Amino acid sequence: MTKGGVVVYEWGQASLSKLPRTPINRTPPMLHQLPAFLLAAFALAGSPGPNTLSLAATGAAFGVRGGLVYMVGLSLGVVLVMLLTASGVAGVLLALPGAAPVIGALAAVYFAWLAWRIATAPPIGSTGVKRRQPTFYGGMFLSLVNPKAYAAMAALFSGFVLIAGHLVMDVGAKLAVLFGVLVVVNVSWLSGGAALTRAFRDPRLSRLINVSFAVLLVASVAFALLAER
Task: Say which residues have a Cβ less than 8 Å from residue 85's Cβ, sequence separation at least 6.
Answer: 91, 150, 153, 154, 157
Q: Partners of 2 in the beta sheet?
A: 7
Which residue ranges make up each domain of the chain? 32-227
The residue type of 134 is: P
- Residue-wise pLDDT for 53-82, tens only, equals 889 888 888 888 889 999 999 999 999 999
- Residue-wise pLDDT for 15-65, tens only, equals 445 545 545 555 555 556 888 899 999 988 888 888 888 898 888 888 888
- Residue-wise pLDDT for 77-124, tens only, equals 999 999 998 888 877 776 777 776 777 777 778 778 878 877 777 765
The residue type of 59 is: G
Residue (of 22, 4, 29) closest to 174 by Cα position: 29
Q: Partners of 90 in the beta sheet?
A: none
pTM of the model: 0.71
